[in-house]
Amino acid sequence: MRPMLALLLLSSTVAQAAPAEALKPMAFLAGHCWKGEFPGGQQTDEHCFQWTLDGHALRDVHTVRAPGKPDYVGETLYYYDSAAQQVAYLYLENSGGYSHGTMKPTTTGLEFPEARYINGSMVLPYRSQWTIGTDSYEAFSEMYIKDKWTTQLRMVLKKQ
């Protein structure tokens, strides 16, 4: 039993020795906040990214602010799922909703394939793409409503 325990401890130490190569396409986000305005300029969307867990995960604290309304806050943790051999994420928000999905790098940025947002009995399929600029990225999100993909959001978020 002891040799097995030692092997498990050693293998987990080796696996955590360096950040996963798969997270490197997201490195430009780390250590910065990125902010955009919704159409009409009455609401802002801010994402602040930090490496956590010794660089094995990227944390995104997401805050939507609107005058006279409580902040909408969510947190995403991106990590390398070694079993599935891909970057995965878990998103939780202050209204009780959550989602989990995956991220794939593309030639122009990051793709978040179809996932499901769940809040109580509501289940909403969505997907997103982030196109990377010099000091900004454009977020484009769609929701699947009434048997078709509908634009939910298109916003440029600038490095703060």
Q: What is the pLDDT of residue 19?
A: 61
Residues present in the chain in total: 160
pTM of the model: 0.86
| 3-class secondary structure, 138 | strand
- Mean pLDDT within 121-130: 97
Looking at residue 71, the DSSP 8-state letter turns out to be: P
The third-level CATH classification (topology) of the domain covering 19-159 is: Lipocalin (2.40.128)
Whether residue 16 is predicted with pLDDT greater than 70 in this model: the reply is: no
Grade residue 11 by pLDDT with cuts at 50, 70 and 90: very low
Grade residue 5 by pLDDT with cuts at 50, 70 and 90: very low
pLDDT, tens digit, 9 for 90 and up, residues 142-160: 999 999 999 999 999 999 9
38-42, 113-117, 129-133: the lowest-pLDDT one? 38-42
Percent of the chain with pLDDT strictly greater than 70: 88
Residue extents of the structural domains in the chain? 19-159
Enumerate long-range contacts of 134-141, CB under 8 Å, 24 or more apart.
135/159, 136/34, 137/29, 137/34, 137/109, 139/36
Q: What is the pLDDT of residue 20?
A: 74
**Residue 26 CB: number of other CB atoms within 10 A?**
18
Q: What is the pLDDT of residue 21?
A: 84
pLDDT, tens digit, 9 for 90 and up, residues 85-107: 999 999 999 999 999 999 999 99
- Mean pLDDT within 33-55: 94
